[in-house]
Chains A and B, each alone.
Chain A
Amino acid sequence: MNASVLVPLPVVLPLFGAGLALALGRSARAQRVVSVVVLTLVVGIAAVLLARADADGPQVMHVGGWPAPLGISLVADRLSALMLLVSVVVALCVLLYSLSQGLVEYGPDTPLSIYHPTFLILVAGVSNAFLSGDLFNLYVGFEILLAASYVLLTLGGTADRIRAGSTYVVVSLASSIVFLTALALVYAATGTVSLAQLAGRLDDLPSGVALLLQLMLLTAFAIKAAVFPLSAWLPDSYPTAPAPVTAVFAGLLTKVGVYAIIRTQTLLFPDSPLSDLLLWAALLTMVIGILGAVAQDDLKRMLSFTLVSHIGYMVFGVALASDDGLSGAIYYVVHHIVIQTNLFLVAGLIERRGGSTSLERLGGLARLSPVLALLFFIPAMNLAGIPPFSGFLGKLGLMQAGVDNGSWLAYLLVAGSVATSLLTLYAMAKAWNRAFWQPPSPEAEAEAIATGATTDLHGKPVRTDAPPVSGKVAVALRAGMAGPAAVLLAVGVALTVFAGPLFGLTDRAAADLRERTPYIEAVLPGGAP
């Protein structure tokens, strides 16, 4: 069977599922079934695509049968398929988590009619961005996922979320405008938006024009990926959203930006004059992001800052523009999607158990809930890069690539990434000490109980006077929330155990990207017209 017919499905299925879920808005149970079935199918399809792309080269689908430079092509090469697989696995875990959270807080019959369709549309947008074979379709993918993220971030419309949402929406709009303007200029300069065709035509442009286009595209993607001078919006807007929403944003949205940077840097601007600029941006992102994290005393905000900081590692790998650097960056993206989502899900669990995410108020959780402590400890150490976890392997790969590069700037970056890693460990240790080991202060505890500090998916305080659910059901539901977090933890550990084959895959993906021809020839079999 030709696997290329599967390529559009990760986009089409979630969109179809979103429509169905919206139509079934009155029946919460049917909505849940639709979302879970659709995402499970997409996980399967993404796995097949990855296997086929690795075995037979890029899988290409020309939508509507129009050949490449004319029509829209969807391409699943090794990089796209890998990103897609990891993203939908993470999205499925987050969905399962939010199902249990909804069940815990509302009982089985209350529908969240908007949440499920929007979540599926978000997944469709992410898939479209990963699979897109032309620059304009990439823009459309971004817009789909951004529109869904606006709705998810302001779910319930509480004062906090509107405040955070307005910053987020305006910043995202600004980046979209830059991207669209860059698209118009790209078309004016080259007469095409197909990535494969652009790869050939951009080489012929005067270097000044190409540099301008590259800078504009980089600016647009850097805002989305939260690379340092353009990252200030992220730690402010993410923490106010419901825990599963923050988790899926942290895992997927910034990584789509990083993916776009990798794709355009390797395919369109291979001999980039901006490597040094990117290296500086990577260094500043790492160091300034982690300094922000160290200063925080709220767990969610701290995690948001570590998210920004670790984007720097990926940009570092891309900026090195070597096979090893790219391979390390791709491995790091995969690792970071899983770990960061996991940590945010656990932060949600901590919020439920401890009544807050403020490190001032939390305390004694290690005694209260050893399982929760374990769920936090392993990904936290993984993020900090303690051997033998995947975080360590990813950072090691990147540092080796940096040392191989040999310039003083690359060495500076290596030093910066070691320092960042240590400071991440410091931040995680601080969170661990305060939330899990330190005994809770009695006043804070009393206050937390009195105000009911947890908020639900709609931002309303969780009712503490609700009739208690019977023992067995409550245990099952709590397991339903902790389960997906545990699954992600297992995926994170699997990234460590199977690091050999995975690094093999990312090596091949990086080699493809640097070579460029496999992608171009798969999209344009007859050569560029």
Chain B
Amino acid sequence: MSPNLVLVIVVGVLFAAGVYLLLERSLTRVLVGVILIGNGVNTLFLVASGPAGRAPIVGLNDVDDMSDPLPQALVLTAIVITLGVTAFLLAMAYRAWQLNGHDEVQDDVEDASIRRRAERDEVSSSYDDSAGGTMDEEGSDETAGEGEPAAVGTEEERP
């Protein structure tokens, strides 16, 4: 089976543009990227189905001339799923815009808090500074931890 070169190129272009948009921060652009890649995959299914033929209806056309109906059924399903996901993403982008004034995908809270701490040059809240002091003396580390369990909450030391 020799695939249709035009279709293959179309698939490549759609994927390239889609991946580029998918890597953007704005949800709307991500959405456009998803739609482009979705169409790219659908076209890829058409390539996979082999050469185009006549309508695959038994009795209307000869079996040898028919195109393969299965990929078309798969593509139909995929289109419906993309439609639903598109609607949801649009709603979510709109909601993000309502809440934040923009629709950008935001950082992981962990990343954000680590960056804040790094800027202020402070240690993580799970780093237990009060229990022991030096990390290489493990024995004293443990006894200090057991002796004063309440010392873990170093609330007053934190700015």
Contact of B92 with A169 in the complex, beta carbons under 8 Å: yes
B24-58 interface bits toward A, Cβ cutoff 8 Å, 1 = contact, 0 = none: 00010010001001100100110111000000000
Q: How far does the Cβ of B159 sit from chain A's closest Cβ, in whole Å?
A: 14
Q: How far does the Cβ of B24 sit from chain A's closest Cβ, in whole Å?
A: 10
Contact of B38 with A177 in the complex, beta carbons under 8 Å: yes
Query: How many A residues are at the interface, by size bracket?
Result: 35 or more
Q: How far does the Cβ of A139 sit from chain B's closest Cβ, in whole Å?
A: 8
Contact of A187 with B48 in the complex, beta carbons under 8 Å: yes
Contact of B155 with A167 in the complex, beta carbons under 8 Å: no
- Check A275 for interface membership: any CB of B closer than 8 A: no
Among the 9-residue stretches A29-37, A373-381, A432-440, the one with 4 or more Cβ atoms under 8 Å from chain B is: A432-440
Contact of A181 with B106 in the complex, beta carbons under 8 Å: no
**Inter-chain contacts of A473 with B (CB < 8 A):** none
- Check A212 for interface membership: any CB of B closer than 8 A: no
Query: How many B residues are at the interface, by size bracket?
Result: 35 or more
A201-224 interface bits toward B, Cβ cutoff 8 Å, 1 = contact, 0 = none: 000000000000000000000000
Q: Which of B114-154 contact A (CB under 8 A)?
A: 124-126, 149-150, 152-153
Q: How far does the Cβ of A21 sit from chain B's closest Cβ, in whole Å?
A: 19
Q: For chain A, what secondary structure do more than half of its interface residues adopt (helix, strand, loop), or is it mixed?
A: helix
State in angstroms the CA–CA spacing of A18 and B92 once bound together: 23
**Inter-chain contacts of A363 with B (CB < 8 A):** 153
Contact of B155 with A441 in the complex, beta carbons under 8 Å: yes
Contact of B89 with A136 in the complex, beta carbons under 8 Å: no
Contact of B27 with A166 in the complex, beta carbons under 8 Å: yes
Contact of A140 with B99 in the complex, beta carbons under 8 Å: no
**Inter-chain contacts of A269 with B (CB < 8 A):** none
Question: Which residue of chain A is the closest to B97 with respect to CB atoms?
Answer: A162
- Check A105 for interface membership: any CB of B closer than 8 A: no
- Check B59 for interface membership: any CB of A closer than 8 A: no
Interface centre among B30, B95, B150 (most CB of A within 10 A): B95
- Check B16 for interface membership: any CB of A closer than 8 A: no
State in angstroms the CA–CA spacing of A170 and B74 once bound together: 23
| A–B complex contacts, Cβ < 8 Å, 30 sampled | A136-B77, A140-B77, A143-B85, A147-B88, A162-B95, A167-B108, A169-B88, A170-B30, A173-B85, A174-B22, A177-B38, A181-B41, A184-B41, A184-B45, A184-B48, A184-B71, A235-B110, A236-B108, A236-B110, A295-B126, A360-B153, A360-B155, A433-B149, A434-B152, A438-B152, A438-B153, A441-B150, A441-B153, A443-B155, A444-B153
List residues of A whose CB falls within 8 A of some B CB: 136, 140, 143, 147, 150-151, 154, 157, 159, 162-163, 165-167, 169-170, 173-174, 177, 180-181, 183-185, 187-188, 193, 232, 235-236, 295-297, 301, 360, 363, 433-434, 437-439, 441, 443-444
